[in-house]
Structure 1
Amino acid sequence: MNIIIVIPARLNSSRLKRKMLVDIEGEPLIVRTFRQACKARCANQVVVATDSGEIAEVLRASGANVVMTSENASCGTERVAEAARALDGDVYINLQGDEPLIDPANIDRVAEPFLSGEDPDCATLVYPVLPGDFATIDDPHTVKAVTDKDGYALYFSRSPIPYRREGFASTRYYRHLGVYAFRSDVLRKFASMKPSMLEREESLEQLRLLENGFRIRCMKTELDAPGVNTPQDLELVRHLFRTHRDVR
């Protein structure tokens, strides 16, 4: 099975200017993420998809394979789908470019259902929220996931789901980690569909799949690391690179 990791990267970012090129202890953010992706065992190839000549130049100087895409993508998965037209994969892993600390084992984890013969439409990762961590559960910037008994997604939301009506101690909450693996045919279909009502309302692209009847396998993981979305996130990640040798 030919598994290809595609990292979508655009230069403009609303919360952190020119985010992909910010310096993290001597290397740009996008290069750091690319290097982590290359450590995954599941993939035959790692590609960065970008509409920025500046990002492409930096990556090529670091030895990365780059596919140029248009400026019209409304989300990262659409950019991955555009890049996939120039590739020949069976499964595509969409890894966000702002994840310089991602554990390669998490990339391998999201590929597991395809390698084991389960063959879902899409797979993604969920991380258990500690019991009583209501700050995380109620945070609209933290995406929550609810699954069925077999681990397939029922819904993703920025709202606290499930709703705490009784507050049972046994109720489990999961935080969604935005790494996706798509079958190639499903990726093409995703890009051909218009953004859905739920996707637009929650600003969550995975809801386009659920709203159109596709099944998303949620793989549980105990591994997590901060991404970079804000200046505060950037300083935290820089600190971790300075103080923890094992993140390099």
Structure 2
Amino acid sequence: MKIVAIIPARFGSTRFPGKMLALLQNKPVIVHTYESVFNTGLFDEVIVACDDEAIYKAIQLAGGKVVMTSPTHLCGTDRIAEAAGNLDADIVVNIQGDEPFTQREPLEKLLAVFRNDVKAEIEIASLMQPLKLQEQIEDPNFVKVAIDLNGFALYFSRSVIPYNRNNIGAKYYEHIGVYAFRKSTLLKVTKLDPTPLEMAEQIECLRWLEYRIPLKMVITEYNRIEIDTPEDLAMANNMMNRPVKNNQL
């Protein structure tokens, strides 16, 4: 089974334009992300799919593999599908370019879904982690996922799901936007028209559920800093500047 990681990286960003090239410890964010993913040792290939010449050159200078994709893509899934079109791959993993602290263990759990799927029935898998703080549970920036008894997604929402009417200790999970696709499924979902729930919530993977494509969820602890704003970048730089204790940053 050949497994490829593709990191979509676009220059534009509403909250932080050019964040992929913002310097984190004197190295662009996208280079940190590429190196973190490559250093997991889990992938046969790691490729950055970008829409900008400067990002392209930054990855080349770092010795990485990079491809130029269309600047018109509206989401990372479409961008990685273009990059994956002619690749020899069974599984394609989408890892966001603004996650420079990507770690091995969550990705290992994600890939185990396919290695254990002897009948090749699972088409897409993704990550989730427990949410315990009430302010995060209520925050629409934290996408929540409700799952069935077999760990497949029932629904994703920016609202609080499930609604804990009788205060019986409901569990809440944050969806982590890391996806693993069978290549054939990746190419299929990018041809699907947008759907009502997807457009209402502005959550892409709802489209797949609306078309009845099962999405297996994998629970993990995914402590990370996404570089969404200049404040996130400052936090990440501060974290990397701290002395290392017990092999942890």
TM-score, length basis structure 1: 0.95
Work out the CA distance in 1 between the residues paired with 2:61 and 2:152. Answer: 40
Match of residue 75 from structure 1: 75
- Contact 2:162 2:172 (C-alpha < 8 Å) held by counterparts: yes
- Contact 1:241 1:247 (C-alpha < 8 Å) held by counterparts: no
* Runs of 5+ unmatched residues, structure 2: none
Match of residue 193 from structure 1: 192
Work out the CA distance in 1 between the residues paired with 2:248 and 2:90. Answer: 30
Post-superposition Cα deviations, 1:53-112, rounded to whole Å, max 9, x if no partner, equal 110011100011011110121110110101001311100000000000121222222111
Spell out structure 1 runs of 4+ moving beyond 6 A. Answer: none
In structure 2, the CA distance between the partners of 1:244 and 1:198, relative to structure 1 (3 Å rule), is farther
Deviation at 1:244, TM superposition (A): 5.2
Match of residue 92 from structure 1: 92
Work out the CA distance in 2 between the residues paired with 1:238 and 1:83. Answer: 31
Counterpart residue identity of residue 101, structure 1: F
Post-superposition Cα deviations, 1:180-209, rounded to whole Å, max 9, x if no partner, equal 000011101111112222222211111111
Aligned identity (percent) is 37
- Contact 1:103 1:224 (C-alpha < 8 Å) held by counterparts: no
Match of residue 217 from structure 1: 216
Work out the CA distance in 1 between the residues paired with 2:34 and 2:248. Answer: 14
Work out the CA distance in 1 between the residues paired with 2:9 and 2:201. Answer: 22
Work out the CA distance in 2 between the residues paired with 1:232 and 1:145. Answer: 27
Post-superposition Cα deviations, 1:21-65, rounded to whole Å, max 9, x if no partner, equal 000011100000001101223311100001111100111000110
Match of residue 239 from structure 1: 238
Counterpart residue identity of residue 236, structure 2: V
* Runs of 5+ unmatched residues, structure 1: none
Work out the CA distance in 1 between the residues paired with 2:168 and 2:25. Answer: 45
Match of residue 15 from structure 2: 15
Match of residue 163 from structure 2: 163
Deviation at 1:210, TM superposition (A): 0.6
Aligned pairs, number: 245
Work out the CA distance in 1 between the residues paired with 2:126 and 2:243. Answer: 27
Work out the CA distance in 2 between the residues paired with 1:86 and 1:59. Answer: 21
Deviation at 1:247, TM superposition (A): 6.6
The answer as to 2:127 corresponding to 1:125 is yes
- Contact 2:106 2:221 (C-alpha < 8 Å) held by counterparts: no
Match of residue 110 from structure 2: 110
